[in-house]
Structures are given as C-alpha cells and as structure tokens.
A and B are shown apart, each in its own frame.
Chain A
C-alpha cells in the first residue's frame, strides 16, 4: 500500500473539537477470545466513547471483525468460539448469564460488509424487528417508524413510492442504507459496522460516510475498515489491531499523525498490511 499524505491532512482537520468530557459507552476489559484452541484476541482493554465514531483498523486476519462481533455477541453463533473477560454497555455486563442475547443485540445493532436485505418488501425489512420487540404496534405508529428510519438512513426520498417493492431489488448502496435503516429502527445505542462500504462503489461509499457522520449525533458507532483514508475521514477514535492484540488506541488525529508504536507507524505508512 502506498502512503498518501492527503489523508493525514484530512485527519488533522477532521475533528478539531473538544474531546475532554467523553462518557464511556462500551467498556472492554481483559478480553480474550479463542476459536477452539487458537487464541484470536489477547487481553484487549478498550473504552469506547458515547456518540463518537470509533474505527478499527489493522491487517486482515488480525481480529477486527472478531472483536466487533464480541460487542453484540454474534460470536455466540460460532460453536467453537469461547470468550473470556468483560464487555459492558453503559456499565452492564453483556455476557451476564441472566441476560438474553436477543436483548443485547437490540441495544447493539450491526451492519455487515455484504448488504443483506431480507427477501421481503422494503417496509417489512424495517418493520418486522421493531414490531417483534414491541417497540411499535402495527399500523400508523409503525408507518411513522419506518419513515423515520428511512429518513435517518437518507433513503426515504429514493424509496418512499415503492415501499412494497422487495428490498433485494435496490442497488447495492441503497441496500446497505436499507440495512442501516433496519438497524436504527430497533433504536439501538450502539451500531457496529463491519467494512460497510467495501462492497460498494465510491459514490455509494461517500453517501454512507456522510450518513455515519449524521448518525453519530444519536448513536455510538464502531466501524471496521481496511481503508485508512476512510478511518481518517470519519473517525473520532481509531484503534489499531495486530495479530489479536490492540496495539494502539487513541483519538484519530494522534494515531494517524503521531503514532506511539512502531508497528502502527509501519502500518499506516504502508510498510505492511
């Protein structure tokens, strides 16, 4: 990967705002994760701040997705996976035995690399989960929620006349925004995004990046990206992972301009990865 000076400049100007009085949304303490015998994450400690965008970067296979999936317990679906340590959302241990994983995922939504709309209408794609969670009742209330979610995902104007069309008929970028709308419709606190733009064209990517900057007013966003320019453009905080270790974690400006660790510097200057 060749280094471009441009994005460092970008990072410098991106978020010039005050970052002193942050509150912690997600707290990760001493997290170890194993796939069978193989350890994929080594004692990760990390505080993720409320209503900020936190980007996770690192070479592929370093455990970014694995870490992200811990935060809404998607790893429960992998039979060989074992998690040790503590993850708290607003101070509540999500791995507590008393807690239903369904409730965790309602609080912590997720958007995937490949847009995966359900084989249903656009309306149903969004409405099904909120109705199930008893957030709204069917009818007017629900219509309003669907509109709100679609507006929130900057998709309303494009689809308002074809809510009955199948979600799969939309373009790739629209599908991804539909997935985001679907995620915000259940009113989560945190939204996880695993390389949400890597399957999209540049124009769609830009739209989604802008959307994330909008969403951050209301949600805490954690995004995995292999695209450092993207991290530099939108992230408030950035964490660099390498071989299952959290090497460096700080505000984006510091990490990109003034990394403390040699490995981080090597990575962002394109010496490996």
Chain B
C-alpha cells in the first residue's frame, strides 16, 4: 500500500470516529438529562469530550509510528500500525461512551486537553529555534571533522574546488588541496553591511525624525504607506533592481569619472541593501523617538530652544539607546540578507577594500553550496552549515543585545522619570 493511501485510511478513520464520538457522547448526555439526572457539564461538552479523547490515542499512535519509521525501526508493517491505531480509537470510543456518568467532569477534561494543545502549539516556536540550531550544529560538526576549525575562522583563502575528491575518498596525491579559509567571505559580508549602513542609518534616522517630530498626523498618514511599500518589496526584487539597474549605473558613473568598476560589485549591492533597510530603521527609530516623553521636549522649549535644538540636544540623546539597538537589529538584517547579494555581489571570495570589485558573502556561499547537486559527505556542501552557524551565532547575539536594550528603553519611559 502506498504511503498516500495509508494516510488516506488513517485520516479517513480518524475524523469519522471523532465525529461519531461527538454525536454519541452528546446523545447520551441528552438522554441522561431528559431522565432528570443532574449532569456536571453541558451535553455539547460530553460530545467534545468523547470526540477529543477518541482522537487522542489514534493520533498518538500515528505520530509514534511515524517516528519509529523515521528512526529506521520498521519491524511492524505500516498498515498494521494504522489498523491498530484506529482499532484502539474505536475501543476507547466505546469505553468513553460507556463511562459517561453524571459526575464525569467532561468540561474540565476537555479544557485540560485544550490547554495541553495550546502548550503544545507554543512549543513549536521553541522547537523551531532548537531545530535550526541542532541541524546547523550537527552538519557543521561534520564539516569540522574534515576541516580545521581554526583554519576556517582565520584562513585567508577559500578554494573548495577539489573538495569533492575528499568526499569521494580520493583526497590523495596530485589534486590540489581544498582550502576553506572563510576570512574573505566574512570580510565581504562585513564590507557590504558597512556600505548598507552608510546608506540606511542617515536616511532611516532622519526619516524617523521627520516622521515623529515634524510631520503632522496628516502628512504622516500619507507618507507612511510609501515606507511600508518599500519595506514590503521582496528582496529578490531588490536583487533584480541591484543587478540590472543600479550596477550598470554604478559602472557608467565610474567610467565617467575614470574609475573601473565590475558589473558585480559590492557598492551596488550595498546601496540597494541600504535602501531596503531604510524603512526598517526608520520605523523602529520612529517608535523609539515617539516614546520620548513630551515633558522632556517641553523642558527644552521652556529654556528657549527651538525645535531642531530640542531634537538634537534632548530628544535624540534620550532616544539614543533605543536608536542604537534598532541599528544593531538592522545590522543583523543586513548580515543575513541573501537575495540582493546573490544577484548583485558575486561569487568570488575577494579580500579587497575596493567597493567597485565583486565580493561574496556568507549567505551567497550558503546558497552556492546548497543549490545543484548536494552530497552530504562533501565538505563543500557542509561548509554551508559551518557558515550558517557563524551567521546564526552572530545574529542571535546582536538580537539579544538589541531587543533587551529596546525593552529596557520602553520600560524606562513607561514609568515616570522619577
């Protein structure tokens, strides 16, 4: 039997059984009540009670079965598992209906189960983080078994072309040794991020100041959608724009002033990435600046400062922790940005300070290693996970710092300054 038919049978059994449970449970409660017995809960709740507790064992057995299969334990045939789960379900249905008494606390039991389900749902996000962490660490360890960790972090040369030989067990003799020194990749990532911040921080911060301090609520309502559209443009679209409009423009301008630029260059991807991040910085900083209490500003106005002086001397310094935190978040955004650099920055690890040359980034290398043929014994494929681990750790640290800063900032101004 194919997997699909098995699934079909499984769910085809599960839902009718649960439905049956609901009908029967409710019916029994109604009948009992009509006989004048005082029931603990409403008939509906007895219905739900039997339905949910019929489904529970079926699903549990199903899930356990799936896991058994995944871990290679296949002694019991799948069809038998499905049959067993449905059988147990039917049995528990019968027992449940029989066990319904006036004192059965159907409502409480149902709510316990629902509570459990809610807790289960909230576990998913935690599991996701751990899933990301574990999957990356596991594969990265494979990588570091083959390549030195130290060399990865501090090596200056990234030349993995012959790595597949090692994977194939032929890392002998004449083939040149594959090199996995990631410094040029880190440098490229860092450099492009810096360019992006040069664009995004001034424009984003000044926009935030305009929006929160100068714009009337009407202007605000009109301008905000533009920034939101800018924020909602998919990164692949920015990448297309960087590669096909901005990069040729940069090349043209450079030629005009007598400089030589490559079509894939760090500058154009950095600029476009910066523009992408503008709305991010401006909306976060806008929130922060708006939460500086009006009394601060009044204090400055009362001393005869004009609005600009008030903003510069009082508002911005008050908001500074929050602003810095939002910039950090933006940095982590830039470090993890993928499509723009994949499309416009280049593939060549290039240790240079010239922004007109091509460069590569961590994310580009991850994409490069994981598209096309993948063999999970090839260090090249696994290097993606090592790079991913670095990216994960760096962005996580930045996020934790900035989120806690922003939080304490908002907390500080929610209560009075006293």
Contacts and interface: CB of A to CB of B under 8 A. Distances in A.
| Contact between A and B in the complex (any CB pair below 8 Å) | yes
Interface of A: 72, 74, 77, 79, 102-106, 109-112, 114-120, 128-129, 132-133, 168, 172, 175, 179, 182-183, 186, 199
A132 B417 contact: no
Contacts of B302: 72, 74, 105, 109-112, 183
A77 B298 contact: yes
B296 A172 contact: no
Given A116-B298, A118-B313, A168 B303 contact: no
Given A129-B305, A186-B304, A119 B298 contact: no
Nearest to A133: B304
B67 interface: no
Nearest to B321: A119
Contacts of A117: 299, 417
B189 interface: no
A168 B304 contact: no
Nearest to B300: A118
B306 A102 contact: yes
A254 to B, nearest CB: 31
Interface in B320-351: 320
B303 A129 contact: yes
B232 to A, nearest CB: 31
B176 to A, nearest CB: 59
Interface string B281-308: 0000000000001011011111111100
A132 B306 CA distance: 10
B314 A118 contact: yes
A102 to B, nearest CB: 5
B304 A102 contact: yes
Nearest to B418: A172
Interface string B384-418: 00000000000000000000000000000000111
5 A-B pairs with least C-beta separation: A106-B304, A110-B302, A129-B303, A105-B304, A116-B299
B309 interface: yes
Given A72-B302, A102-B304, A186-B303, A120 B295 contact: no
A236 to B, nearest CB: 23
B299 A118 contact: yes
Nearest to B316: A119
B318 A119 contact: yes
B304 A115 contact: no
A132 B305 contact: yes
A74 to B, nearest CB: 7
Contact of A74 (B293, B298, B305, B416): B298
A141 B174 CA distance: 79
Given A114-B417, A132-B309, 6 more contacts: A104-B304, A106-B304, A118-B318, A119-B317, A182-B299, A199-B416
A129 B306 CA distance: 11
B305 A102 contact: yes
A105 B300 CA distance: 10
Contacts of B318: 118-119
B295, B299, B314, B320 — which one has the most chain A CB atoms within 10 A of its CB? B299
A186 B306 CA distance: 14
A112 B298 contact: yes
Contacts of B306: 102
Nearest to B294: A77
Contacts of B313: 118, 120, 128
Nearest to A130: B303
A96 B61 CA distance: 84
A77 B300 CA distance: 12
Interface string B29-73: 000000000000000000000000000000000000000000000
Contacts of B216: 79
A175 B416 CA distance: 13
Contacts of A186: 303-304
A116 B317 contact: no
A112 B299 contact: yes
Nearest to B302: A110
Nearest to A106: B304
A105 B304 CA distance: 5
A259 to B, nearest CB: 32
B214 to A, nearest CB: 13
B216 to A, nearest CB: 8
A191 to B, nearest CB: 10
A6 to B, nearest CB: 29
A129 B298 contact: no
Most buried by B among A104, A129, A182, A183: A129
B243 to A, nearest CB: 44
Nearest to B216: A79
Contact of B301 (A74, A133, A175): A74
A115 B417 contact: yes
B416 A109 contact: no
A106 B298 CA distance: 13
A111 B301 CA distance: 11
Contact of B303 (A79, A103, A109, A120): A109
A172 B306 CA distance: 27
A183 B305 CA distance: 12
Given A74-B298, A77-B298, A132-B309, A116 B417 contact: yes
A118 B418 contact: no
Residue of B298, B303, B309, B416 ringed by the most chain A CB atoms within 10 A? B303
Given A112-B295, A112-B299, A179-B299, A118 B305 contact: no
A129 B296 contact: no
A115 B418 contact: yes
Given A128-B313, A182-B303, A186-B303, A168 B298 contact: no
B317 A103 contact: no
Interface in B106-143: none
